[in-house]
Amino acid sequence: MAYIISKKHGDTTLLKTTALASALMLAVPAMAAEVAAEKKSDATLPTVNVKASATTDAPAYKADKASSPKLTQPLLDTPQTITVIKKELLLEQAATTLSEALRNTPGITLLLGENGNTATGDSIFMRGFDTQGSIFVDNIRDLGTISRDTFNTDQVEIAKGPAGADNGRGAASGYVNMGTKLPTLDSATSGTVGLGSGSYKRATLDMNRKLDIEGAAFRLNLMLQDSGVTGRDQVENNSWGVAPSLAFGLNTPTRAYFYLLHVDQENRPDGAVPTIGLQGYYNAALVGKPQAKVDSENFYGALSDKDDVVADMFTARFEHDFAPGVTLRNTSRYGKSSQDYVLTGVSALAAANVADANPANWTVNRSRQGKDQENVILTNQTNLTAELATGAVKHSISAGAEVIYESQRNNTLGAVAGQTTDAANLYHPNPNARFAAMAPTGARTKGETTTAALYAFDTIKLSDAFQINGGVRVEHYKTETNSISLSTATSHPTLPVGTPVAGSVSGSDNLVSWKIGALYKPAEKGSVYFSYATSQLPPGSANFSLVTTNGANNPNADPQKGSNIELGTKWDVLGDKLALTAAIYRSENDNEFVTNTDGSTLPVGKRRVQGVELGAAGILTQNWQISAGLAYMDPKITRGNRSGTNLTDGGVIQWSPKLTFTSWTTYKLPFGLTIGGGARYMDSVARSSSTNINTATNPLVQVPDYWVFDAMAVYDVSKNMNLQLNVYNLADKEYVSTVNNSGARYRPGTPRSARLTANFLF
C-alpha cells in the first residue's frame, strides 16, 4: 500500500488591436454624452406588461447586476469583465443548454477530448484554459462532466479572469455561473412547445403562484425533451426535469427559499466522424489516392452507446435584513449526480486498410470507452453585506465563511474479456456490428476534498468619482484519494497480474487569493478601471485524484497560480438602456509541469494570454435590441517543454482562437412581428501547442475558421401566445465544430435546421 501525506505552507496585431481599444476607451465617454443628449427626449419609455415574445419596452439583454453578493457594486462599477446572458435572449434563440447559451460571449470554445477519450458535458475552454471545473449554480460549484439544461435558469453569468477571491480554487480563465429561477409574488404561467429538425421535440412549463400565506409563493419549472441531433444519425438527446421552489417572507425583512432540481437524461452520445478528406487532412498512405470526405451524418458507434445522467440538487437559503443595507444570508446545498456512459469512438485510418485500391473497402478501428461516475457536494455558505460610512468615506462590505465537502467516485470500465469490437467501414458504418460489452474491471477511485474558507470584500467610495475595490479569500483544503488498482507485471512483479491493490494519497494546504481594483467615474453612468486578481489551482482540483508519480496531481506539487491585470471602461448610454464595455487584459499561469532541457519534469512552465474584449448589450432604438461581443486573444506558452518529442516552449495555446465574434439583434415591427438574427465568427484554432509538429504530415493541425448566421421571426398570435421560428446556419455552412487531440475525428457543425416554437404566457 502506498501512502503519502504532504503538508505545505511580438505580435503586432495585438498592438494594433490594443491601440484600437484604447482609442475606443477614450472615445466612449464623449460618444456617451453626445448620444445621451440626443436621446434625452425619449429616455423614459412607457411601462407595459411583458409578453413571451421579444419586448423592446425594457432592455431584455442588458443586466445591471450579477447575482453574487460578493460583487458589491452594479456591473457598471465592477472592475472586471463580466457578461450576463439573460433568459429572454435564451428564449429568442431557443437555446436549451449551457453550451448553447455560451455562444453569446466571445473567447469560448468547446472540446472534443483526448485521442482515446471523448469529453462529455459542458467542455468549456475559455481564455486559454480548461474551465469545465469552474461551473457554478447560484455561486456554488456544480460537479460532474454533464450537459446542463437551462429550463430552470434565470441568467448565465460569465466572469473572465482569475476569481480565486470569489470562489476559491479555479482556472485562471474565470468561471461560469447559472442563476436559478425563484418564486416571486407575481402569479403567472408561461411555457413553450417546440418541434424542429432532427426530430426535435421539447416542452417547458414555468408556473409561479402567490400563496394565501402573506409573503409566500410557489414556483414550478418542468421540462420534457425527446430529440435527435440535426445532421447526425442515431445520436439522441432525451431528458426530463422538474424544479419546484417555495419562498416565504417575500418583501419582508426575513426571507426563506427552498428549491429542488431533478434532471434525468437518457442520451446516445456522439463518437464523432473521421477527418479524412477535410481541408488540412494528411495521411502518408493516401498520397496519390482518392481521399473523399465521409458523410458527416455517419454514426460510427453502437446502438447500445449511452450517456445516462441523474442529477439532484436541494438548496435552502435564508436572508434577514437587520437594517437598510445590512443583510445576512445563509445557504445550504446538497447535490448529487451520477453518469453511466458508454461511447464508441473511431481511430485514424490505418495504412493496412488502404492497400485495397477500392476505397469502398476501407475501414477504421473502433474503440469503446466508459464512465461510471458519481459526484456529491455538501456545502454551507454564510454571507454578510453591509453599507456603512466612516466619516466622508463610504464602504460596501461583503464578508463570510464557506464549508464545502466534495467527492467523486469513479469505477473503471473495460471491455469484457474475450469480446471484440468490429472495425467500421469508412463510408458505410454499421451500428449493428459486433461490439465488446463494457463492465466494471474492479479498479476504482474515490477522491474527497474538504474546504473551509473565510473571505472579505470592500468597495471604498472615496468620493462620487473615485472608489477602490478589494477582496481576499483564505482557505484550507484537504484532499484524499483512495483507490483500487489492478496489478501488472511491471507495477507489482511479485503479484499475479490483475490482483487488486489498495492505495491512498492525501494532501492539504492553505491558499490565499486576492483582488484589487481602482475605479474612476468621469460621469454618473460611466467608469474607467484598473484591476489585478489572482487564483490558485492545487493538486487534484480537476478530479480529486492525487497520484504518487511526478506531475500536477502529486500532493507535493505547488498549486498553479494565475494572475490577471486589466484596464477597462464601462458605459450605460441611451437612458441606461445600452451597456458598452471595453477591456485590455493580460493573464498568466505559473507552475505548470514541463520537460526541461535536461529531460527533467519540473513545475516551471508558464502560459500567457493577453487581448482585448469589447461588448454591447441593450436597446439601440425603441424597437431595436442588440447583444454583441468581440474578443482578440494572443495565447502563448512562454515556458514549455524544451526537450522530448513534444516541444511547446514558445508555442501557441491549443483550442484558443485569436479572434471571435458573436452577435444577436432583434427589431419589433408595428404589426406584431419581431424579426432578428445573429452572426458568429470563430477564427482558426490550433489543435496542438507543439512547435516541432510537422504541419505538412499531420492531420488537421488547425481547425479552419468559419462564419455562422442564424435568423428568427416571432409573430404575436394573441396577447397570450406567439409563434417563433428559428433557422440556424442560414448559409448551410459546413464547418468543424470540435476535433480531438490527434486530429483523427471531429464533430461537424450543425447544418441548416429549424425550430418552430409556440410560447405562451397567462
Nearest to 345 by CA among 514, 510, 120: 120
Give the Cα separation of 179 and 257 in Å (integer). Answer: 14
Cβ neighbourhood burial of 760 (10 Å; 0-12, 13-18, 19+): middle
Q: What pLDDT was estimated at residue 660?
A: 97
What average pLDDT does this structure show over 184-209?
A: 97
- Indicate if the pLDDT at residue 510 is higher than 70: yes
353: confidence class by pLDDT, cuts 50, 70, 90? confident
What average pLDDT does this structure show over 150-175?
A: 94
Q: What pLDDT was estimated at residue 85?
A: 97
- DSSP-derived 3-state class of residue 104: helix
- Indicate if the pLDDT at residue 20 is higher than 60: no
Q: How is residue 421 written as a grid cell?
A: 469490437
- Indicate if the pLDDT at residue 644 is higher than 90: no
What average pLDDT does this structure show over 31-48?
A: 39
pLDDT in tens, 85-94: 999 999 999 9
Q: What pLDDT was estimated at residue 110?
A: 85
What average pLDDT does this structure show over 552-566?
A: 94
φ/ψ of 141, rounded to 5, equals: -55, 135
CA dihedral 699, 702, 703, 707 (to 10 degrees): -140
What average pLDDT does this structure show over 478-497?
A: 92
Which H or E run contains 39? helix 12-39
- Indicate if the pLDDT at residue 36 is higher than 60: no
Residues ≥6 apart with Cβ < 8 Å to 354: 283, 285, 286, 289, 362
What average pLDDT does this structure show over 614-641?
A: 96
- Which amino acid would we find at residue 690? S
Q: How is residue 367 written as a grid cell?
A: 474503440
Give the Cα separation of 138 and 179 in Å (integer). Answer: 5
Does the pTM surpass 0.95? The reply is no
In this structure, of 37-51, 201-215, 577-591, the range with the lowest mean pLDDT score is 37-51
Q: What pLDDT was estimated at residue 248?
A: 98
Is 753 within 8 Å of 725 (Cβ atoms)?
no
Name the average pLDDT for the chain. 90
Q: What pLDDT was estimated at residue 526?
A: 98
Q: How much of the chain, in percent, has pLDDT values that exceed 70?
A: 91
- Indicate if the pLDDT at residue 502 is higher than 60: yes
pLDDT in tens, 736-758: 999 988 888 999 999 999 999 99
Give the Cα separation of 594 and 268 in Å (integer). Answer: 37
- Indicate if the pLDDT at residue 260 is higher than 70: yes
pLDDT in tens, 287-297: 778 788 999 99
* Pairing of the two strands 129-130 and 326-346: unpaired
- Indicate if the pLDDT at residue 302 is higher than 80: yes
* Pairing of the two strands 438-461 and 466-486: antiparallel
What one-character DSSP code corresponds to residue 103?
G
In this structure, of 168-177, 210-219, 283-292, the range with the lowest mean pLDDT score is 283-292
Q: What pLDDT was estimated at residue 115?
A: 56
116: confidence class by pLDDT, cuts 50, 70, 90? low
Cβ neighbourhood burial of 608 (10 Å; 0-12, 13-18, 19+): middle
- Which amino acid would we find at residue 681? Y
Nearest to 681 by CA among 661, 667, 663, 711: 661
- Indicate if the pLDDT at residue 13 is higher than 50: no
